[in-house]
């Protein structure tokens, strides 16, 4: 009888990737349903406890999230992106969005380190996934996006195509477990 076995490290890494993927998707959906930092911060802390990162990985996640927050601040300041609800601001973006950026970057670090996709696939994933997330936020009524302004939409898509490559470069020495 043939038995398919996988190395323990592979099984742990796959399990962690699946758990982190489910947690991030639930975090994102819950944020769209109720964009409130009062539950987001405890949820992020619980996620960090259940699936720990080292200091270096948290530093990379914080740097990337700060960069994302600044880029979203730019989209907001030039009027390409408008948020529909008033909220406490951090560096020009609502706190709920800043916490979502932290969760996104934490997840991207784990994902990019785990999947070992070619760089073009990572870039395509970002170019499709990032804008889709914003389109969904608009569908939930949290934002208004001026997609027809191609002079801004194209750099927006390019930013999302480059973000996974930046995550890959910064996290190269990151061991996902």
pLDDT at 1: 53
Q: Return per-residue pLDDT of the chain as tens, 177 residues.
A: 545 444 555 567 788 888 889 999 999 999 999 888 899 999 998 888 887 788 888 899 999 999 999 999 999 989 888 888 777 677 788 899 999 999 999 999 988 888 888 999 989 999 999 999 999 999 999 888 888 887 888 889 999 899 989 888 887 754 444
- Domain ranges for the chain: 8-170
Question: Of 152, 109, 159, 103, whose CA–CA distance to 129 is shortest?
Answer: 159
Give the integer Cα–Cα distance in Å for 117 and 87. 37
What DSSP letter does each residue of 12-62 carry, written as one string? HHHHHHHHHHHHHHHHHHHHHH---HHHHHHHHHHHHHHS---HHHHHHHH
Sign of CA dihedral 92, 93, 98, 101: negative
Q: How far apart are CA 24 and CA 19, in angstroms?
A: 9
Q: Are 130 and 160 in contact (CB under 8 A)?
A: yes
Q: Tell me the C-alpha distance between 116 and 125, whole Å.
A: 13
Cβ-contact 73, 92 below 8 angstroms: yes
pLDDT at 7: 53
């Amino acid at each position: 009888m043939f038995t398919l076995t996988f190395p323990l490290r592979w099984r742990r890494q796959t399990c962690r990737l699946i758990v982190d993927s489910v947690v991030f998707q639930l975090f994102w959906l819950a944020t769209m349903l109720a964009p409130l930092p009062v539950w987001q911060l405890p949820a992020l802390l619980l996620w960090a406890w259940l699936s720990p990162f080292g200091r270096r990985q948290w530093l990379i996640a914080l740097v990337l999230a700060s960069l994302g927050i600044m880029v979203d601040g730019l989209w907001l300041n030039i009027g390409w992106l408008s948020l529909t609800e008033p909220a406490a601001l951090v560096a020009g973006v609502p706190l709920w969005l800043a916490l979502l950026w932290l969760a996104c970057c934490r997840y991207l670090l784990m994902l990019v380190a785990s999947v070992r996709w070619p760089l073009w696939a990572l870039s395509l994933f970002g170019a499709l996934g990032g804008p889709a997330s914003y389109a969904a936020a608009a569908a939930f009524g949290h934002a208004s996006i001026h997609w027809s302004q191609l002079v801004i939409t194209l750099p927006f898509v390019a930013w999302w195509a480059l973000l996974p490559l930046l995550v890959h470069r910064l996290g190269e020495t990151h061991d996902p477990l």
